[in-house]
Structure 1
Amino acid sequence: MPTASPTILLLHGFAESREVWNDFTRPFPAHYRLLAPNLLGHGTHRELVPDFSMEAQARYVVQYLGRQHAAEPVLVVGHSMGGYVALALAERYPERVAGLALLNSTAYADTDEKRHNREKNIAFVERHGLAKFMESFVRPLFAPANRDRLPEALGLLEDIAKATPEATIAGALRAMAARPDRTAVLREAAYPVLLVAGKHDVAVPLADSIAQAALAPTASTLFLEGSGHQAYLEQPEATRRAVLALAAGVFGE
């Protein structure tokens, strides 16, 4: 039977795994049920993946919620690619969403330049290998001031990324490039929305996050001066407070 506990669903980003949430969620109040799946092809999910699209990922997450007998609707928290999956889930299954938090993510589709860069990254991995690619990919995701300040967090992401199968890297990059614009999800949201953005985010421009904040009538925002693309690792206290404030509002606490 579904559990009655208020449920927070956490969706990790590209070349990450459910492990990235461990420290972030450790101080969460015990009455929340926290669910953090490995997305398709990531972490311990090593089954053959024929479809890495955000829609396929969303279907997989809904099936995961069913297997976990999760009380619905749930608060969905998505980081980067996890945010793209969260938006696809909210578009297809709005009745399952009690609230939506996008951490360093965007409802906009990729620009032509971004799509081209994703294909360049795939070609680099094919020529030089995954380990070499991740040595130059992960570090710039942190704000310059945090790259030497947070060696354990940076090392965690590098280790997880280097263990991700190359087929997942290529499949997920192409799926992100092909995803559609989902700004309508924000405009039509009947539930609370939180947007968390970093000033030094090289993957999701701050200007995009500011523009999207005006789309959702139910949106609140957290713009972090000292963060890059990894807000939940770079400024975890502020990000955690914002997510928990959203949760309190969503679940009427």
Structure 2
Amino acid sequence: MPHIRLKQLSDQGAAVILIHGFLGNSVQWQPIAQVLQSNYSVYTIDLPGHGSNTSLEFYTLTDLAKDLVRDLNERHIDLVHVIGHSMGGYVGSAFAKAHPEKIASLTLLNSIAGADSAQRLTLRNRSLEFIERYGHAYTSMAIANLFTDLEKVTHTAMIENLKNAAAAMNLIAVKNAIIAMRDRVDALHMLDDKGLNINYIAGTQDTILPIAQVRKEAVELNKPIAEIDSGHMSLLTSPELIIERLPFIE
């Protein structure tokens, strides 16, 4: 059984795949997808245990990349523009590493291709321990940490909706996702020599993935970075700024 399946939203041109992040779901792309649907064949994915995907099977990001290419081949899709937010960018990077011939462009939104730092690895393990002790208190705290102080004031209702959706997730799925992110293979140097069209969109107020870390990776790969005034959840708080900065938009 595949861990993920593409959902097609439109059939208007070049293929675009939108991959959401940890504790999110494909519906979060709606503001961006609505704009893209008039000129592109837009596809979304719900990651395992997220949104409408009820899978609780253990997986790696490499597994998800295999599912994705299998689905694309079944649909006879040769080239795709991949936009991955946060964990979705990790999935996109794993896919690009395994199948560079399929990549028209890869946009890493509040995301990187590299592996976790030692500090981030420690935080992942602490998160797993916290979940064992406190359960869904973790998801509520994790959602809140995705937003800046100002965003918490201006997007109160949206944040509550995200907390409610995360609270409905099975904790097995939450832990599986953390482990998949923690144990992912570093795709940075494997992408370095493939000549891919890779672009970064990063939030200057992002406390989950600091802008300095994204800048460092963009310089290392010699790839462009677009910086926007937002926290980690820019696909929800600043969708219009993201659309303006997508590399394939004419």
Q: Report the counterpart of residue 56 of structure 1 in structure 2.
A: 63
Does the 8 Å contact 1:24/1:232 carry over to 2? yes
Q: Is 1:223–2:227 an aligned residue pair?
A: yes
Q: Could you give the per-residue CA deviations for residues 138-197 of structure 1, whole angstroms, max 9, x where no partner exists? A: 112112211110124323322332222111111111111111222124422423221011
**Residues paired across the two proteins, number:** 240
CA distance in 2, matches of 1:76, 1:205: 22
**Aligned ranges for residues 46-195 of structure 1 at < 5 Å?**
46-51=54-59, 53-67=60-74, 69=75, 71-130=77-136, 132-195=137-200
Q: Is 1:209–2:206 an aligned residue pair?
A: no
Q: Is 1:9–2:13 an aligned residue pair?
A: no
CA distance in 2, matches of 1:139, 1:66: 38
Query: Aligned in 2, Cα 1:139/1:96: closer, same or farther, shift over 3 Å?
Result: same
Does the 8 Å contact 2:19/2:89 carry over to 1? yes
What secondary structure, in the 3-state scheme, does the structure 2 residue paired with 1:148 have? helix
CA distance in 2, matches of 1:42, 1:62: 20
CA distance in 2, matches of 1:16, 1:62: 22
Of residues 7, 20, 37, the one that matches 2:28 is: 20
How far residue 9 of structure 1 moved from its aligned partner, in angstroms, is 0.4
Does the 8 Å contact 2:83/2:107 carry over to 1? yes
Give structure 2 stretches of 5+ with no counterpart: 1-10
CA distance in 2, matches of 1:16, 1:66: 26
Of residues 46, 61, 64, the one that matches 1:38 is: 46
Letter of the structure 2 residue corresponding to residue 247 of structure 1 = F
Does the 8 Å contact 1:106/1:209 carry over to 2? yes
How far residue 66 of structure 1 moved from its aligned partner, in angstroms, is 3.6
Q: Could you give the per-residue CA deviations for residues 111-159 of structure 1, whole angstroms, max 9, x where no partner exists? A: 22211211211222222221x2222111121122111101243233223
Does the 8 Å contact 2:12/2:37 carry over to 1? no
How far residue 239 of structure 1 moved from its aligned partner, in angstroms, is 1.0
Of residues 238, 243, 246, the one that matches 1:235 is: 238
Could you tell me the TM-score, scaled by structure 2's length? 0.89
Q: Report the counterpart of residue 247 of structure 1 in structure 2.
A: 248
Letter of the structure 2 residue corresponding to residue 213 of structure 1 = A
What secondary structure, in the 3-state scheme, does the structure 1 residue paired with 2:220 have? coil
Q: Could you give the per-residue CA deviations for residues 190-232 of structure 1, whole angstroms, max 9, x where no partner exists? A: 2322101112212211111111111334x221112x3111111
Does the 8 Å contact 1:40/1:57 carry over to 2? no
Does the 8 Å contact 2:26/2:44 carry over to 1? yes
CA distance in 2, matches of 1:144, 1:22: 24
Does the 8 Å contact 1:109/1:179 carry over to 2? yes
How far residue 70 of structure 1 moved from its aligned partner, in angstroms, is 5.4
Does the 8 Å contact 1:87/1:185 carry over to 2? no
Does the 8 Å contact 1:8/1:32 carry over to 2? yes
Q: Show structure 1 runs of 4+ deviating over 4 A.
A: none
Could you tell me the TM-score, scaled by structure 1's length? 0.88
Does the 8 Å contact 1:37/1:61 carry over to 2? no
Does the 8 Å contact 2:100/2:196 carry over to 1? no
Give the root-mean-square deviation of aligned CA atoms. Answer: 1.9
How far residue 48 of structure 1 moved from its aligned partner, in angstroms, is 4.1
